[in-house]
Amino acid sequence: MVRHLRAEANSGRMLPFAIEYRGQLVGQLTVAGITWGSMCSGHVGYWVDEAVAGRGVMPTAVALAVDHCFRTVGLHRIEVCIRPENGPSRRVVEKLGFREEGLRPRYLHIDGAWRDHLVFALTAEEVPEGLLSRWQRARSQNTPPQNTPRNPA
């Protein structure tokens, strides 16, 4: 697995991250499927140890990774695809204010069957102040973040 992650990272198609909390490895986040050209996008996948779930570890990690992708790497769009029944992962993107775009029926083959996934997305224009900044502000105000309205033109 490490060899595969390293090869994909070296090719510019993936950004794998380890997540530490209080000095312990508690999760992993990967920006994969990085596409350049007219698309400039990638998708995020993640997992976290349930012992630290609910402490803001994963929303903070996702916000940091998205900001890195938008500000440093130069991506324009980030997607997160989540199985509809995965409430904890859905809560992460909801806390961060990702926009729900719809359902992808039978999107990925997992546990022996083709599974539906909900698609959530953000573009760089939706978080001009940065996703981490928006997440921290929402946390301090104890309010869910709102997407910046898009110009329909």
57, 70, 72, 144, 147 from 64: Cα distances, Å: 11, 10, 11, 18, 17
Q: Do strands 15-21 and 77-82 pair parallel, antiparallel, or not at all (unpaired)?
A: unpaired
In this prediction, residues 101-124 reach a mean pLDDT of 97
Angle at 34 between CA 118 and CA 82, to 5 degrees: 15
**Cα 68 to Cα 75: distance, rounded to the nearest angstrom:** 9
CATH 3.40.630.30 for domain 2-141, yes or no, is yes
**Cα 121 to Cα 46: distance, rounded to the nearest angstrom:** 15
Answering whether pTM is above 0.85, one says yes
- Rounded (10°) angle between helices 87-96 and 131-141: 100
* Beta strands, E only, the chain: 15-21, 24-35, 41-48, 77-82, 99-110, 113-123
Average pLDDT, the chain: 92
Residue 40 forms beta bridges with which residues?
none
Q: How confident is the model at residue 5 (pLDDT cuts 50, 70, 90)?
A: confident
Nearest to 121 by CA among 104, 139, 138: 104
Instruction: Name the residue ranges covered by the structural domains of the chain.
Output: 2-141
- Give tens-digit pLDDT for 7-45: 889 888 999 999 999 999 999 999 999 999 999 999 999
Q: Tell me: pLDDT of 143 over 80.
A: no
